[in-house]
Amino acid sequence: MINLKYETWVNVCRGIFGQSENSLKEYLQLYPFSLLSDDEKVYIQKEDFFDKFILNGAFFKNKLIFDFPKHYIQKGNSSFRSTKLVSPLLYIYLESIGYHVWEAYEKESNKTRCYYAGDFQEGDFHYKRSYDNFYADVNECSRRYRYYYKFDINNFFDNLDINILFDNINRTSNIIDSRTALIYKRLLQTIGSGKFPTVENSCSLSFLATCVYLDLFDKKLETLMDDLEDIERYQIVRYVDDLYIFFDTSEESLNDSVSFIKNSVIHFYREINLQLNEQKSTYGNANNISDELSAALYDHYVNELDINISSMFNESTVKTFIDELFVIAKERAHNHNRYKEIKESIFSRTGIQYSSEEVFRYLIYYRRSLFKDAELISKLFALIQTDYKLIKYDIRNFINMLLNTRNGDLIKFFLKQIFENNNLDSFDITMIINYLISRSFQHQPLLEKLAQYEPEICKYITNYCNDSFMKSVISDENNGYLHLILEGSYDFGNDLKVWYIYFMYCHYRSSGDSLEAFSYYKSYFDRITALLMHYKGVERTGKGKPNYKMFYKQSSIIRSFNRINFNSAISDIKDLIEKAHDLRNHNPINHSSAEVMDDESLNVSEIEQVIGELELLLELGFKGAVIN
């Protein structure tokens, strides 16, 4: 169904599976991969699994594939990204899309140093190393150039135009054929509810947004900088939508240069439907950039020097931090900016370039023993008792800090605040999710509390985070007759058209376009019926192949299904097939009469009911015996 190479699938699997178990267990999206056995990893990477289940699109028949719960990922300013969770198998598929493009895409911009959340070249599918290298690059440039201009984009991911993205992918060569492009495009639109999706720790989506979507922009910016006579030299560095232009010019030419650069950037961004965030766009002397950028790790990554954080920060530092938070909690005078100011003042030191966030996280994740100090635990207890909502400014770090104490009374008190709150907001839900991840989801009362507000996230946890997700991949419950492919009983997976049609049905169903969805489902039903009757030996062509042409006729479908003994109660087959054909023939998608548009009593639930009954007919048909 797509022109994805097996080698691409294997490389992506290795990149994901190769991350440390601790790293995988930090994130809800990646957690399921930490539960895979070595044998299951080998099975997923087998060419037979790829050919039968992935390449042809058969895995889209899995009932869980098109579930996309919203996810809660907190940004540095305490707000939340609009993100979705996807099934683990679909996550691998998504990463394969970006890798597929990366293997063949040739960037037109050649002077801009681009970083995204990972590095396909290095087989690195995690953002951390790339992000740190970006900071190191920025710090290096701040020492080499006189001025800098930093640009930010308003709601970058929400405003990416998927059509522009795919035009860029195939701009110079046919990297993705038209059918594959349509499937990839529809899939991204479905996950993102019409927009470019954001998925936690997706190297692929970050690459597409950075190195493909912004490629022509970067090329135009390079040309502009080359042509500016007042610019002596320059370097452009970007991490996704964070763009830095470093340059040298005379002091007399500075105002004219920055004005021209800014106006050009605004224009170039508008050409690709993006808008500059002027409040976050600044310029100045490059040697002052650390005031603007919470910079990190220059010496560690560029000069390969280790800076001993432990010698500068200890439990006394953390106690002082908690004391100052206690003051603003007691006064009920806290907000995100005040919290950030305190964090900066406590965890920053003259002479090092680690950011306060880097220091705080280092202490939490690598000096856990600090938090077992009795006095520190007492201070944390007092803070939580005064106002546990202060945690909302830095949820992930605080949850891990509380857990590091290993103090049952403190942790129980924190959970008590959650359980007594009957009006949870996004911050509370994020606290629950982060706590459950840290506890490997072993807290049933908290899961039940979460289910009251986010049942789809709980469904994701149940399906993928308590046991290997491969059980959901191969189970009859989630796959129905698709298990025949995986077990090798019948190779109707080689029929690429049937799974393409089914994918399009799923896309329109998820988009809420019921008439389009039914049109595709009916085509799928007719084609899969031909495969069913071939499998059962009811109807074949003279060449022993499925008789597709026969099963566009309702009489043939009715007659063939009546030859199967279902061994269970089933509705009137004749009535069901006739109703389905009427809906298809009166559907404006299929027929110009469009009579269904005149039926004011017809609603979405009726269409869904017909689809459900047809699907049941297929399920029972594959299980039933043929009557001679």
Q: Is 311 exposed, middle or buried (0-12, 13-18, 19+ CB in 10 A)?
A: exposed
**Which of the pair, 206 or 537, is modelled with greater confidence?**
206
Q: Which two tokens stand for residue 462?
A: 């149940």
Domain locations in the chain as residue ranges = 1-103+458-480, 106-293, 309-439, 487-626
| Average pLDDT in the chain | 88
What are the pLDDT digits (tens) for 254-269?
999 999 999 999 999 9
Distance CA 478, CA 85 (A): 18
CA separation for the pair 240, 453 (Å, rounded)? 32
What's the CATH architecture for 487-626? Up-down Bundle (1.20)
Q: Which residue, 241, 191, 194, is CA-closest to 213?
A: 241
- Phi and psi (nearest 5°) for 373? -60, 130
Concatenated DSSP letters of 389-455 = GGGGGGHHHHHHHHHHTT-HHHHHHHHHHHHH-SS--HHHHHHHHHHHHHTTT--HHHHHHHHHH-H
Report d(CA 213, CA 223) in Å as an integer. Answer: 17
- Res 591 pLDDT > 70: no
What is the rounded CA–CA span in Å between residue 91 and residue 186? 15
Q: Alpha-carbon distance 101 to 204, whole Å?
A: 9
For the cut 70, the answer to whether the pLDDT of residue 434 exceeds it is yes
pLDDT at 350: 66
Phi, psi for residue 82 in degrees, rounded to 5: -85, 100
Residues 6 or more apart whose Cβ sits within 8 Å of residue 508: 514, 516, 517, 520
Can you read off the two tokens belonging to residue 432?
A: 């629950």
Q: Mean pLDDT across the stretch 364-369?
A: 86
Residue 328 pLDDT > 80: yes
How far is it, in rounded angstroms, from Cα 253 to Cα 231? 9
- Give the pLDDT band (50/70/90) at residue 302: very low
Inter-residue contact 416 to 402 (CB < 8 Å): no
Residue 218, phi then psi, degrees to nearest 5? -60, -40
Q: What is the pLDDT of residues 498-529, one digit of tens each?
A: 999 999 999 999 988 888 999 999 999 999 99
DSSP 3-state of 283:
strand
**Bridge partners, 239 (sequence order):** 115, 242
Residue 534 tokens, joined: 């071939």
Please name the residue that has the structure tokens 């509370």: 428
Calculate the alpha carbon distances from 66 to 315, 507, 580 in Å: 47, 8, 24
Q: Strand 112-115 vs strand 233-239: parallel, antiparallel, or unpaired?
A: parallel
How does pLDDT run across 145-180, given as a tens digit for each residue?
999 999 999 999 999 999 999 999 998 788 888 888
Side chain identity at residue 413, one-letter code: F
Beta bridge partners of 82: 72
